[in-house]
Structures are given as C-alpha cells and as structure tokens.
C-alpha cells in the first residue's frame, strides 16, 4: 500500500512540505469526486467488481457434481474426487477462500443454491453499493490560502537542550 501511495504522489514528493500537503489534498479531493460519480452510476446491489466475481463463481458452481447436506446449514461438496465443507451458518469454507475474499466461492454458492437461497445475501456488507457511496460522501474541509495565525509570529523557537551522555573515559 505504501508503494502504491508513493507512486501516486510521485510528482509532489520532492516539493516543500506545505506544497506537498496541499497537492496531496487536491489529489484526494479529485479521487473522492471520481469515486462518488462512479458510485452514482451503479444501480445494482453490489459494486461492479464484486458482482463480476460473484457471477463468475456462479458459473463455476453450476458444474459442481454433488451437494450433500450434513445438517441444516452444513454441506459437503464432492467435486472431482475431493470433498469441500461449507458451513452457511458461520459463513465458512474448508479452504478459506470465502473468508478471505468476503464473497462466496463456487462451492459455497452450490450449497446456497441447494437451499434455494439468494447468493447476494452471503457476502460482506462492504461490497454493497450503499457502503461504497458512504465511504466517499464525507466532504473535505476547505483550506483557504490565508490562515490567521494569531500570536504565533512573535514566538522564538529555541534549540533543544542537549546533555552530554556518559561515555567511557578516554585512554591516556
């Protein structure tokens, strides 16, 4: 993440600190505006990337061979000689793909379809368009060019006190 951020602010990194902060704030404001506009174009329940991933996994789930219900919400999926365990109550999957991505894997979708339930309900709330819109709705505080700094102009900044730390005595 730090490398991505550094690449994103590459043009401003070498500038004085005040100028750098101003330009990063402007870049962020532009980025937030673009994300707000993007969020307003979506009409579905899920953000587009999550919907694409879910659709792709739904296609894979159609070809899974056998879904066996061990209990009410606990399933065993048999596919190409392997067994996969899906627990719809805890939203867990034996290979943790569902837990890591937040979107049900093909095996979990097969279990959800077996129960005749809606697959979009088994995803993290952060993939909902409404959450995306909320993330970028907070406005930035506008900063004027002339900021009143009352009483600070007359202050003198002193050097910090230095004390000599104990060390070994010099050899004679």
Contacts of 111 (CB under 8 A, 6+ apart): 67, 75, 77, 86, 88
pTM above 0.75, yes or no: no
pLDDT in tens, 22-71: 899 989 999 999 999 999 998 888 899 999 988 998 898 887 768 888 88
Any idea where the domains of the chain sit in the sequence? 14-42, 44-128
Which residues on neighbouring strands pair with residue 165, listed in sequence order?
none
75-102 pLDDT, tens digit per residue, is: 888 888 888 888 888 888 777 778 888 8
What is the Cα–Cα distance from 41 to 132, expressed in whole angstroms?
Answer: 12
Helix residue ranges, H only, 62-170? 97-101, 106-114, 129-135
């Amino acid at each position: 993440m730090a490398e991505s951020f550094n690449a994103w602010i590459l043009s401003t990194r070498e500038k004085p600190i005040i100028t750098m902060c101003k330009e990063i704030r402007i870049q962020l404001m532009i980025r937030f505006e673009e994300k707000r506009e993007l969020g307003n174009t979506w009409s579905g329940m899920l953000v587009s990337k999550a919907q694409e991933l879910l659709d792709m996994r739904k296609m894979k789930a159609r070809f899974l061979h056998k879904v066996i219900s061990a209990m009410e919400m606990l399933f065993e999926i048999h596919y190409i000689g392997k067994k996969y365990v899906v627990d719809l109550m805890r939203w867990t999957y034996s290979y943790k793909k569902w837990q890591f991505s937040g979107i049900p894997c093909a095996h979990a979708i097969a279990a959800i379809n077996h129960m005749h339930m809606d697959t979009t309900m088994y995803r993290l709330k952060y993939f909902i368009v409404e959450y995306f819109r909320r993330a970028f709705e907070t406005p930035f505080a506008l900063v004027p060019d002339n900021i009143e700094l009352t009483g600070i102009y007359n202050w003198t900044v002193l050097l910090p006190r230095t004390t000599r730390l104990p060390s070994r005595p010099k050899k004679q």
